[in-house]
Structure 1
Amino acid sequence: MSTLNKYKTLLILSSIAAISSCSWFSAKDGTEDIDDRYMRSQQGPELQVPPATEQIDVEDRYRVPEGVIITNRDAKGKKLSLDPPQLLLVGGDGVREDSEQAQPTVWIRHQNTSFMNYVSRFMNQKNIPVLSSSDTQVTTDWITDEDETTLANYIGSYNLDGQRHRLTLEIVGQNANEIALQARNTESQRLVQDKWAAMAPSKTVASQFLNAFLGYYDTERTKEARQRILEEGTINVNLGTNQQGNIALTAEREFLAVWDQMPKVLEDLNLTVSDRDQSAGIYYFNVKEPETGFWAWLWNDDEDNPKVEMEPGDYQILVETTTSGVSMTFKDDEGNLLDANIVTRIYPEFAASFKSRAKQ
């Protein structure tokens, strides 16, 4: 046989073996076809010693220990799950796995009594049908690969293809600053010959369902943390007076928070910072002459004009620490206080600009 024919023969044999091996994984009834022919195996013939061969000392070399009796002859193969292993997502802040639980369970750092609100929002956002709910648990209705939900993207077509599942998320433990959340695959069915047949619940499906929630929960908590940071960065400015009783803008914040925001506020109002002196607490800025006329309109130069009603020229803002926060006093280029009417007129624009900084 030529080398080419040998390769062709090997290719054909390997193809036949691959095709025949596929039937091992799936039976016609929709269950895993585990080969259990080993259960029907019979004892082979006794060892025959060929003529002219010395006797083999079987008793000593191949002795079976006395008292050994095989009593459990139940098939083990079909009881084994073919589901791939599934790890829990415990990379989020304050999330740890409880490996001692029989079902997928995590401890989540949470001190708020409204934790189940996150579970409800998760169900709504993912369009997951809810069968029942309480203060400590939520159980889904049937989830299949044909539902108009995004859950199949999370727990995978391997587990949803031709199957449907009901799952539960439940708080099964709680301490001072943590709750234990457990996922269970309460019911599972497989489509066999156009009929739903019961199948064993899958721990893998439960783990993937819990992972889907943990991903959502981590995203929501990140959004909330960002919102808190933005809110903490908000500077609410009011019209008031400084320590000397002169009209000024006031804020219940520390000096540096206001000082660091000032350049952005002035820029937002199209006012140019010309200098600053932190030791004296003074910002120097300029109000330029507004552009007018046809060419300003044509090139949209009017968008660069000052957004406050102040005469063109140089000004100062004195930022001082007060007993309740910070005051901002407006002066002209020579250090004289601006008229109270001017400060009252420009107050809304400055207040709005300080507050809008938190949205960036």
Structure 2
Amino acid sequence: MQYWAKSSIAVSVLLAGCSMFDGSQGDATAPQRSVESIKVPAGLQQPARPGQFDIPATDAAVADVEIKAPSLVLATASSSRVEEGERLARVWFDRNDFTGDLIPFLQQALTAQFAEQGVSLQQTDEKGLEYTTGWIKRSDETGFWFWKSTSETEQARFKLLFEPRPHGRSASLTVTMLEHEYFVAENKLAGREAHRQEVALLNQIIDRVGKEEIAVALANKAKAPDVSVEPGLDSDGNPALLSSQSVDVVWSQLEAVFTALNLTVTDMNRSAFTYYLDYQKPEQGFWSSIWGNDAPIQLPLQEGEYQLVLKRNNNGTAMTIQNSSGEALSADTVLALHDPFVQAVRQARVEL
């Protein structure tokens, strides 16, 4: 099986350097502009002005309006999604090929995330669905080189809650701020700033889940494929290599194996499932030996022309190897071919 990861998994790596705190600031001192009425030159008629759009005068006190952009939950992991209209700092995860059992996978990602940040994480229930973080601190650096100093500006603690569905294939993660302390007046929470900090931390966790998914995908890709090829007999009683795959699957993947074995396809007959091959013993190049590359696979055959015929059998496909005259090779030769053939299948990363 070939493994792939959604492009959204790779995007999650770009968020690795983000801070757990949302440091975006809006410019509250930006000058306000008023729209002047249209000036009509003398001799022209004033255009009509519908009154339903006029703003009535009021004696109400002027309130500060938050001008920061809304914070967004970024579902960058392939297993993550955000429900439309969600108002909490919450994301949903769905089980896929990379997560396996969902809750243990998310718990591992959560532990790795806070261990990397040097923040304590305490489990507060028996099932491992509720956690409380230690103080997550934010600092500012001043000066440079030997005169550089760091001062803390704020810190916060959060509650993390997993809520799995009864079927176990989906679970939500909600982040809630428990406490906040500030050491600089400008970092006092105002408006929806607490929600912004919750979303910033949640995005960090989603990013970690995406990294864990990528690690699983790469490990699966590097894993050697299972090979079902075994020595046996074809339907005519000739020695052959047997595969559990169908004849069409075997036919479509053999050319990659031929390349690994230094077999050249000179002709083929698709209707008879026959490959006509030429074998030349491979030689390891000078630079390959210098750099320590693996030696090429050697077949226990003489150089020359051969035929490989595929035949259907009860358990899949029989691969009968014949000489240029169409005579099947001996059982001893087929047994000797089995190990290098399996090695070539794994090197070609195909399923046979």
The separation in 2 between residues aligned to 1:316 and 1:262, in whole angstroms, is: 13
Cα deviations by residue, 1:199-225 (Å, 9 ceiling, x for unpaired): 687211211222222233345446656
So what's the TM-score if we normalise by structure 1? 0.61
Per the alignment, do residues 215 and 192 of structure 1 end up closer, same or farther by CA in structure 2, a change over 3 Å counting?
Answer: closer
- Hey, what's the Cα distance between the residues in 1 that align with 2:261 and 2:196? 57
Secondary structure, aligned partner of 2:268: strand
Partner of 2:345: 354
Q: Secondary structure at the match of 2:349?
A: helix
Instruction: Judge conservation of contact 1:230–1:359 (CA < 8 Å) in 2.
Output: no
Q: 2:57 & 2:271 partners in 1: Cα distance?
A: 94
Q: Distance in 1 between matches of 2:239 and 2:299?
A: 17
Report what 1:136 is aligned to.
129
TM-score normalised over the length of structure 2: 0.62
In 2, are the aligned partners of 1:235 and 1:253 still within 8 Å (CA)? no
- Closer/same/farther in 2, CA of residues 135 and 175 from structure 1, 3 Å limit: same
Contact 2:113–2:205 (Cα < 8 Å) also in 1:
no
Equivalent residues in 2 for 1:85-96, closer than 5 Å: 85-90=70-75, 95-96=80-81
1:286 matched to 2:278? The reply is yes
- Maintained 8 Å contact 2:281/2:299: no
Structure 1 residues 325, 356: CA separation in 2 closer, same or farther (over 3 Å shift)? same
Once the two structures are TM-superposed, the CA of residue 357 in structure 1 deviates from its matched residue by 2.4
Distance 1:101 1:329, change over 3 A: same
Aligned partner of 1:169 in structure 2 is 160
Q: Name the counterpart of 1:115.
A: 103
Task: Identify the residue that residue 5 of structure 1 maps to in structure 2.
Answer: none
Greater percentage in helix: 1
- Gapped runs of 5+ residues in structure 2? 1-25, 30-55, 140-150
Count of residue correspondences? 273
Residues 263-289 of structure 1 deviation map (CA, whole Å, 9 limit, x = unaligned): 111111122221111211111111226
2:198 maps to 1:188: no
1:18-45 CA-to-partner distances (Å, cap 9, x unmatched) read: xxxxxxxxxxxxxx9x99xxxxxxxxxx
Report the residue type matching 1:203 in the other structure: H
| 1:354 maps to amino acid | V
Q: Distance in 1 between matches of 2:321 and 2:216?
A: 37
Over 3 Å counting, the alpha-carbon distance change for 1:106 and 1:227 in structure 2 is same
Give the Cα separation in 1 of the matches to 2:288 and 2:68. Answer: 66
Higher relative contact order (CA 8 A, sep 6+): 2
Q: Paired residue for 1:18?
A: none
Deviations 1:317-344 (A, max 9, x none): 1122222222211111111110111111
Supply the RMSD in Å over aligned alpha carbons: 4.3
The reply on whether 1:249 has 2:237 as its aligned counterpart is: no
Q: Give the share of equivalent positions with the same residue, in percent.
A: 20
Note the residue ranges of structure 1 that are not aligned, 5 or more in a row: 1-31, 36-62, 147-159
Where does residue 343 of structure 1 map in the other structure?
A: 334
